[in-house]
Structure 1
Amino acid sequence: MIEFERIHHVSLAVRDLSKARTFYSELLQFKEIERPPFNSKGIWYAVGTQQLHLLEHPMGQALRESGIDSVDGHFAIWVKSFKDTIQWLEQAGIEYEARPKSVAGFAQIYILDVDHNIIEFDAAYDS
């Protein structure tokens, strides 16, 4: 039996690393961390104790074109405050879909990055 400890990282394909860096580093203010010198283009971020790896796909393949679809592949980040996250997204001009009373048992917010990768922010109800 495998003894799981935690998710180490999530990797997302991006079309343009420069545009992705602007979104994740400047708009979302993720902390960039050192990436080994692979033979590919990419950026790594610390997200709490886990990591997000952005990989520039040279052919732009396997990338989404559609809008928010919570049934599609995505990753989720637990945030301290639903209300503060909504306020911050609005100030940053980032479109979102909010589900403050989701049947999931916690509040959910969905956004798209510049390559239509879905990011979910979760928080306790009424936080």
Structure 2
Amino acid sequence: MIEYVRIHHVSLAVRDLEQAKKFYSEVLHFQEIQRPPFRSKGIWYAVGNHQLHLLENPNGETLRKSEIDSVDGHFAIWVKSYKNTVEWLGKVGVPFEARPQSVAGFAQIYILDLDNNIIEFDAAYDS
């Protein structure tokens, strides 16, 4: 039997690594961490005790081509404040889909990165 400890990282394909870095570093303020010298182009971020790896696809292709659909592959981050997250996204001009009273049992906010990868932010109701 496999004994699972935790998810180590999530990897996303991006078309342009420099543009993706601006979005994740400057807009979302993710913390960049050191990446081994792989032959591929990429950037790694720490997200709490986990990691997000962005990998530049040499073909310039990513999997998604459409708008937000929460049944598509995505990753979710628990945030301290729903209200502050919505305010920040509005301030920096990132379009989002807000579900403040989601049937999930917590508030949800969905955004797309520059390559249509879905990011979900979750928070307690009324936080």
Q: Deviations over 1:82-125 (max 9, x none)?
A: 00100111111110000001011110000000000000000011
Shift of 1:64: 1.2
- Alignment root-mean-square deviation, CA: 0.8
When the two structures are superposed, what TM-score results if normalisation uses the length of structure 1? Answer: 0.97
The reply on whether 1:3 has 2:3 as its aligned counterpart is yes
> 1:1-127 alignment to 2 at 5 Å?
1-127=1-127
- Residues 16, 56 of structure 1: 8 Å contact kept: yes
Distance in structure 2 (CA, Å) of the matches to 1:123 and 1:3: 29
Distance in 1 (alpha carbons) for counterparts of 2:84 and 2:62: 33
C-alpha separation between the residues in 2 aligned to 1:103 and 1:52? 27
**With structure 2 as the length reference, what TM-score do the two structures score?**
0.97
Please list every run of 5 or more consecutive structure 1 residues that lacks an aligned counterpart in the other structure: none
Amino acid in structure 2 at the alignment position of 1:38: F
Unmatched segments (≥5 aa) in structure 2: none
Distance 1:61 1:83 in 2: 34
Output the amino acid matched with 1:61: E
- Among all aligned residue pairs of Structure 1 and Structure 2, give the percentage whose two residues are the same amino acid: 75
Displacement over 6 Å in runs of 4+: none
Q: Secondary structure at the match of 2:12?
A: strand
Q: CA deviation at 1:62?
A: 3.9
Q: Per-residue CA shift, 1:50-78, capped at 9, x if unaligned?
A: 00000000002343111111010000000
Give the conservation status (yes or no) of the 8 Å contact 1:14–1:63. no
SS in 1 for 2:46: strand
